[in-house]
Amino acid sequence: MQKKQHSGLKWLGRGVFVILIAISLALIFNEQIKSWLVSSYSPAVTAKAVKKNQKKTGNFNFSKVKSLDFQTVAKARLNKSAINVVGSIAIPSVDLYLPIGKGVSNETLALAAGTMKADQTMGQGNYALAGHHMIKHGALFSPLYYKSKVGQMIYLSDVTHIYAYKTTERTFIKATDVQVIDDVVGQKLVTLITCDKTGAGRLMIRGKYVQKWAFKQAPAKVQKSFTSHFNNKY
């Protein structure tokens, strides 16, 4: 009997040791795991789904956006169906390729760029997107902070069309300067917002509309920016 108890305690001790090791590794590699969960998200971007999701109601309450911690990312991956994908963004010169989700819910911003106004339309008005800045330079909107420059091309797609913009402005603004997402009379713009390195301020990238193409009539390199990184289906 004592031998069985000793054996049981031995296995229990080993189990606790394994659990402690697993927890330790998770803590050590927390940032790497979080980055992988974000970068490996690759939803199907279909014309049917985009059209359906554009009609849905999004969450545009900026005050409830949280910093991007592991729990938020894990929850978003488990509940990825809550992200209403309405298109995708590609900036080849900075290696940025992301799905666009409707609204700025924490789930959406954990895995995608989020639209900042309810009734945005690509190629019209001021199409404003928000995205998180992560430690990993290639995740979410981080490439904007480290690599963006005036003159670079920004492409948006709703699957049926591709819209081209040219970066005209890269500037740091206050977190309270929300007016930058408002439409500007007579101008077609794209405005991208992410945190600065401190998290207290914001980096704004703005581009002016150049042209649009039917998806399959866009230059081959531009098409490839989307077909190579997204599950595009017509």
Alpha helix locations (H) across the chain?
2-28, 30-39, 47-54, 70-78, 106-111, 142-147, 220-227
DSSP state at residue 19: H
* Of 44, 54, 43, nearest in space to 121 by CA: 54
Catalytic residue list contains 132: yes
Q: Where are the beta strands (DSSP E) in 116-160?
A: 126-130, 153-157
Contact (Cβ atoms closer than 8 angstroms) between residue 113 and residue 99: yes
SS3 (DSSP) at 116:
coil
Contact (Cβ atoms closer than 8 angstroms) between residue 192 and residue 131: yes
Two tokens at 175? 């977190």
Sign of the Cα pseudo-torsion (223, 58, 32, 192, in order): positive
Catalytic residue list contains 133: no
Q: Catalytic residue numbers?
A: 132, 195
